[in-house]
Amino acid sequence: MPTTLATIKKNLEDRIGTPIMLVAQTGRKRQTQRKGILTETYPSVFVVDLDQEENSFERVSYSYSDVLTRTVEIEFLSEVI
């Protein structure tokens, strides 16, 4: 099943308010893991409010193309249990 930017955006819009775990590739063999809540979606990006105990800043945004190219991987925490 081919994944497109439109399907990624639609899937994220349907899950606004859901706790998620983000794993972002930050360079050669380096990854950053962040937990937060998916709060907003825009035409090109989505916004996650981060957990304040674990992170020094409040929000982070990524583009849908980051998800498509697997630069950012999303795991919905409500489904993990």
Terminal-residue alpha carbon distance, the chain:
26
Distance between CA 18 and CA 29 in Å, rounded?
28
Domain count, the chain: 1
Tell me which residue range forms the domain holding 69: 5-79
What proportion of the chain, given as a percentage, has pLDDT over 90? 70
The confidence score (pLDDT) of residue 79 equals 60
Q: Are 19 and 78 in contact (CB under 8 A)?
A: yes
Q: What is the pLDDT of residue 81?
A: 36
| pLDDT (0 to 100) of residue 56 | 72
Single out the residue of 6, 38, 9 nearest to residue 22, CA to CA: 38
User: Model confidence over 50-64: pLDDT tens digits?
Assistant: 987 777 778 999 999
- For the chain, residues with pLDDT lower than 70 are 1-2, 79-81
Q: Domain holding 58: CATH number?
A: 2.30.30.100
The structure's pTM equals 0.83
Tell me the sheet residues that pair with 34: 22
Contact call for residues 50 and 34 (beta carbons, < 8 A)? yes
